[in-house]
């Protein structure tokens, strides 16, 4: 079956670095997405990886290893506003987008 695994909850301190992991088992692979969702708000696109390696975008970076079925989202210089849920999603061989349950990140002062 298709499966996306990510931790349910994480906590971190303002100014720190946090890494949110995502492992996947899907029918083929056509790209991996990370979305951010603040409570009561729309999920918003953060990053897209289709090739192995690291994609950097400001304080946020996303890494992909297709051979390991693994990705992580790295958040640097954490701010209070980074408290949100982070959704990992994989597009499979049929272009269907499979979502994980999301990781709720709480940033403390």
Q: How far is the CB of 41 from another protein (least distance, A)?
A: 5
Question: Based on CB atoms, which residue is closest to another protein, 24 or 72?
Answer: 24
Question: What is the binding site for another protein (CB under 8 A)?
Answer: 4, 8, 30-31, 33, 35, 40-45, 48, 50, 87, 89, 91, 95-102
Tokens representing 10? Answer: 């994480």
Specify the residue, 35 or 72, whose C-beta has the smaller distance to another protein.
35
Minimal distance, residue 77 CB to another protein, in Å:
25
């Amino acid at each position: 079956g298709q499966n996306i695994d990510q931790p349910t909850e994480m906590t971190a301190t303002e100014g720190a670095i946090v890494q949110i992991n995502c492992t996947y088992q899907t029918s083929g692979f056509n790209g991996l997405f990370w979305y951010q969702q603040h409570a009561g708000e729309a999920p918003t696109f953060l990053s897209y990886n289709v090739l192995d390696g690291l994609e950097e975008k400001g304080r946020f970076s996303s890494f992909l290893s297709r051979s390991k079925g693994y990705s992580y989202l790295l958040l640097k210089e954490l701010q209070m506003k980074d408290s949100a849920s982070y959704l990992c999603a994989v597009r499979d061989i049929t272009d269907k987008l499979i979502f994980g349950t999301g990781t709720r990140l709480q940033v403390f002062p």
